[in-house]
Structure 1
Amino acid sequence: MADLDRPRRSVLYMPGANERALEKAKTLDADALILDLEDSVTPDAKVEGRDRVRAAVASRGYGRREVTIRVNGLDTPWFTDDVQAAASVSPDAIVVPKVNSAADVRRVEDAVPADIPIWAMIETPIAMLHAYEIASASPRLTVLVLGTNDLAKELHAEHVPGRGPLLTSLSLALLGARAAGKTILDGVYNDVKDLAGFAEECTQSRQLGFDGKTLIHPSQLEPCNEVFAPSEAEIAHAQKVIAAFEEAQSAGKGVATVDGKMIENLHVSNAHRVLAVATDIASRG
């Protein structure tokens, strides 16, 4: 399966210094986990958090969940030690916050072993304006992760339903990721008790084009997984598109029609992606 087709509907942050949370994560229905050494770990607990996360990843107890480690930023005193500790247990990726430029990506490349993928968090106005340069700076960078709380802070924007103040930034990030052929994850929803509002934001996120959403609480997993998974209707339509196009090709035609709409190669490509994601989700049981 191509990296873009790998389901990353729900990507849950787990505090690195909280041993109970790290253990609980082994039972949660998340597509991916970000074991966090940055915001959720106080300065006096950085060493403890680093050791706990390293032990958690080394246990290999997370099943098919994609397990990543978020280190502290490039210009913090913890970055080098975090990366060395993370690299020693070979996570599925190392997540780096506050990446603002292609030059930052190259600095991360120099620090992270070549066999470990990089996820870059873009959280500032300058990062949004350079989203394509960041996303295309390295083939090792596979995922962009939006940090919408930091972005809103720097924009002096309000958190409002529909996220009107952030839509330009969201679109710039999406354009950059898609132009570079990379996965992109939406930022978090802060009110863990407002599941209706969260579901609405997940729907908006999927409609905009995001591959999934980062989460801060296990209660957000089920609605997020549901929204970002292909529906039965979408799966059935994808199957019809592929079958109709194959039939048209057999008849020497370059296009087909499904439900009165013209089908071309681009629709077939998307249909295959939908089925690949659906198959991978179904295989997880």
Structure 2
Amino acid sequence: MLHCSIDLERIFGSAMALIRPRRSVLYMPGANERALEKSRTLAADALILDLEDSVAPDAKIEARAKVVEAVREGGYGRREVVIRPNALETAWGTADIMAAAAAAPDAILIPKVQHPGDIISAAKILKSVNAPEKTKLWAMMETPQSILHAADIAAVGADPENRLVCLVMGTNDLLKESRARALHDRFAVVPWLAMTVVAARGYGLDIIDGVYNDFRDEAGFRKECEHGRTLGMDGKTLIHPSQIAPCNEIFSPSEEEVNWSRTIIRAFEEPENRVKGVITVDGKMVERLHLVQAQRTVAIANSVKEIEEWF
């Protein structure tokens, strides 16, 4: 097993410029042409064009065609475009993935992932249709089985052939399947969220928190965003455009965090500190692992600034 410091350098240190913020990830119903068009104007980091939960069975095939056409038309700029097909075991799943691959989105979000084989099967479909290398896989973690197998699912991402780069929490489905109560403090789901964060981080994956259902409750939404960020989430899935701005704000590094990170970086750049594992900065003990975290924070802040200037 690699030491943690080496893992951090591998995951973050050599590719800081490649960090892509995934603060706000908005679901858009694939059957709604107006919504698909509007999504090109929204300040979300990523868009999930949905063929699954938001589409009625008799509209699945038509929605697939609309989403594929929208992705091929482009016009999304720096937004990450993700297609969520129906589950592989459904009548539409395989055809959805093949059609999505042909449209060449940034990623395909596999729903109802139960075990590593679901991701491996999806990756094989992408390979069979010569999907472009840029099209990655995301995994919905929304069943008890997905939580029980979280580490094994995340481990699939260690092989680039499997394309897995991100886990997405499906908290509504988890609550339904577990028969737990949906309370504002998220008492029931915290252990599952924490387990999945650790699994994602263990294999260098991003992880996105589940949705907040009451889009009119900004105070409650902000509180849940803060909670998710404290747990280690990279961002949050959203159900309404009004949630984008507060989500981006909360999941962006604060000015204080960025300034402190730059202070750490400058301190380690001093000639006398370049080979040290531990130094003192403003009276605080700082280890080299904090340098890696600081570099990541600054890289994210720079990426966020570029995105905001583009918008």
Q: Judge conservation of contact 2:267–2:273 (CA < 8 Å) in 1.
A: no
Say if 1:230 and 1:274, in contact at 8 Å, map to a contact too: yes
Could you tell me which residue of structure 2 aligns to residue 63 of structure 1?
Answer: 77
Instruction: Give matches, 1:37-48, under 5 Å.
Output: 37-48=51-62
What amino acid is the match of 1:28? L
Tell me the alpha carbon deviations over residues 206-250 of structure 1, each in whole angstroms, 9 at most, x when there is no partner.
000000000000000011000000111111000000011121645
Does the C-alpha gap of structure 1 residues 171 and 250 become closer, same or farther in structure 2, counting only changes over 3 Å? closer
In the alignment of these two chains, the number of paired residues is 285
Q: CA deviation at 1:84?
A: 1.6
The CA deviation at 1:251 is: 7.0
Aligned match of 1:202: 225
**TM-score where L is the length of structure 1:** 0.96
Structure 1 Cα separation of the partners of residues 17 and 191 of structure 2: 26
Say whether 1:176 aligns with 2:199: yes
1:263 positional shift: 1.2
Report matched runs for 1:75-114 at 5 Å.
75-113=89-127
CA contact (8 A) 1:121 1:146 kept: yes
**In structure 2, which of residues 172, 187, 209 is the aligned counterpart of residue 164 of structure 1?**
187
> Contact conserved, 1:245 with 1:255, CA < 8 A, in 2?
no
Displacement of 1:40 in angstroms is: 0.5
**For residues 63 and 257 of structure 2, what CA distance do their matches in structure 1 show?**
42
Give the match for residue 171 of structure 2.
148
Q: Which shows bigger deviation, 142-151 or 245-254?
A: 245-254
Q: Which runs of 5+ in 1 are unaligned?
A: none
Instruction: Please provide the CA RMSD for this pair.
Output: 1.5
Match of 1:125 among 123, 131, 144: 144
Q: Give how far 1:3 is off.
A: 9.1
1:102-157 superposed Cα distances (whole Å, 9 cap, x missing partner): 11121111112352210011111111111110011143100000100000011111
Identity %: 54
Alignment CA distance shift 1:104-1:2 (3 Å): farther
Equivalent residue number for residue 12 of structure 2: none
State whether residues 97 and 122 of structure 2, in contact with CA within 8 Å, keep that contact through their aligned partners in structure 1: no
Give the counterpart of 1:229 among 252, 257, 273.
252
Secondary structure at the aligned position of 1:189 is classed as coil
Q: Supply the distance in 2 between the matched residues of 1:181 and 1:251 (Cα, whole angstroms).
A: 26
For residue 188 of structure 2, give the secondary structure of its aligned residue in structure 1: helix
Give the counterpart of 1:246 among 251, 266, 269.
269
Q: 1:195 to 1:251 in 2, by over 3 A?
A: closer
Q: Return the letter of the residue paired with 1:207.
A: T
Amino acid at match of 2:34: R
Q: Which amino acid aligns with 1:118?
A: L
Distance 1:47 1:253, change over 3 A: closer
Q: Is the 8 A contact 1:32 1:66 kept in 2?
A: yes
8 Å CA contact 2:154–2:199 kept in 1: the answer is yes
Residue 256 of structure 1 deviates from its aligned partner by 1.9
Name 2:10's counterpart in structure 1. Answer: none
- Structure 1 residues 41-78: Cα deviation after superposition (integer angstroms, max 9, x where no partner): 10111111111101110111111000010000010000
- The aligned counterpart of 2:234 is 211
Q: Give the drift of 1:257.
A: 1.5
Alignment-derived partner of residue 3 in structure 2: none
1:253 Cα deviation after fit? 3.9
Asked if 2 retains the 8 angstrom alpha-carbon contact of 1:4 and 1:183, the reply is: no
Q: Where does the alignment leave 5 or more consecutive residues of structure 2 unmatched?
A: 1-14
Residue type of the partner of 1:256?
I
Partners of 2:275 and 2:41 lie apart in 1 by: 51
